[in-house]
């Protein structure tokens, strides 16, 4: 059965910092398929970066690993993959996800650094800085 999970479930799996919670999360994963919503994705990146001081590369690798698991379904998987590619180029994760979810729509911002490397390398859709 597909179930939606909270950020803390995935953080326990990623960090294994509480063995009891880790075991419960893994048991849940053996019984169900996890749905990871976009808001949970955003919060996971923030928690891994700010609380656990994970590097950009470690975080991106973890997300790519999730995308390969058949018992994990991420909302907007293609947008997440695009965002992760731009994230690896130095974009803020939330900004990259905002842009990826906009798809081909023109994107406007006041932020001159918004996904800068991805845009310069022609890897992202049009962004207009006001």
**Position 97 in a domain:** no
Does a structural domain hold residue 88?
no
Does residue 118 belong to any structural domain of this protein? no
Q: How many domains does the chain have?
A: 1
Residue 7 lies in a domain: yes
Is 37 inside any structural domain? yes
In a domain, 127, yes or no: no
For 14-67, write each residue's pLDDT tens digit: 999 999 999 999 999 999 999 999 999 999 999 999 999 999 999 999 999 999
Condensed to tens digits (0 to 9), the pLDDT of residues 80-102 reads: 999 999 999 999 999 999 999 99
Q: Which domain holds residue 49?
A: 2-75
Q: What is the 3-state secondary structure (H, E, C) of the chain?
A: CEEECCHHHHHHHHHCCCHHHHHHHHHHHHHCEEEECHHHHHHHHHHHHHHCCCCHHHHHHHHHHHHHCCCEEECCHHHHHHHHHHHHCCCCHHHHHHHHHHCCCCEEECCCCCCHHHHHCCCCCCEEEC
- Please indicate, yes or no, whether the overall pTM of this predicted structure exceeds 0.95: no
């Amino acid at each position: 059965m597909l179930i939606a999970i909270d950020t803390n479930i995935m953080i326990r799996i990623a960090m294994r910092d509480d063995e009891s919670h880790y075991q419960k999360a893994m048991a849940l994963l053996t019984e169900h398929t996890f749905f990871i919503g976009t808001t949970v994705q955003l919060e996971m990146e923030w928690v891994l970066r700010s609380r656990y001081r994970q590097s950009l590369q470690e975080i991106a690798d973890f997300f790519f690993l999730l995308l390969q698991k058949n018992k994990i379904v991420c909302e907007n998987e293609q947008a997440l993959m695009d965002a992760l590619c731009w994230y690896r180029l130095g974009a803020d994760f939330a900004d990259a996800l905002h842009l990826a979810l906009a798809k081909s729509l023109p994107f406007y911002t006041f932020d001159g650094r918004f996904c800068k490397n991805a845009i310069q390398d022609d890897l992202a859709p049009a962004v207009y800085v006001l």
